[in-house]
Structures are given as C-alpha cells and as structure tokens.
Amino acid sequence: MNNRQLGETGEQIAVDYLIKNGFTILNRNFRSGRFGEIDIIAEEDSCICFIEVKTRTSDTFGAPSEAVDHKKMQKIRSLAWIYLKQNRMEDRFMRFDVIEVIASRTKDSVLPKTINLIRGAF
C-alpha cells in the first residue's frame, strides 16, 4: 500500500469516526480552482466543520497535525469561504478541525491505532 492509498484509507477511517460520533458528512474532497482541496466537510450541532485529515504510521517525527502549515490553513480557509458561498451558508457558524490518524500499514490494509479529533485546530 502506497502513501496515497494510506491517505485515502485514513480519510475513510476519519469519515467513519465522524459518523459514529454524530457528525453529518456534507462533502468529501471538495475542490475549487487553485486552492487544493478540503478532505471532509461535515456538520456537528449546526456548525459547519472543515476537516483536514493527516494519516501517519507513527508519530516519531511529530504529531500528524503539525504537517498542516500556515499555507495549507490559508488554502482551506479560502476553500471554506467558496463552499459556504456556493451553498448559501455564509451565515452559518464554522470551524476548522484536524483529524490525526495513526495507523499500522500492511501490504494490503490499514488498521487504525489512534484517531484524534482536534476541534478548532486553526
């Protein structure tokens, strides 16, 4: 399993975790223009949550959330505003979260060890 597949599987693990914890998934891999993508857009208690998922096989080199740098945060903020405007949700409360997935990777599968939701990460 390569890094792209690890990331995709980590995103699915995050979606399953969010649903299990009462979130409604509104969109996945939202893209617009040159800003990149938002991994997951979800709703929790009428708050729109823009969620970046970071999947790693260990935290040896730091927490996965540390990989969300200022440039990535700015892109997510820009995309969030586009999403809200496109869906006429500009008046909704919103926040930016990060989900860290630490997983063990085998040749054919990924098994989550820990999942950490950081609400209001930036």
pLDDT for 101 equals 96
**Does pLDDT of 1 surpass 80?**
no
pTM: 0.93
CB 49 within 8 A of CB 95: yes
Average pLDDT across the chain, whole number: 95
Highest CATH level, class, for 3-118: alpha beta
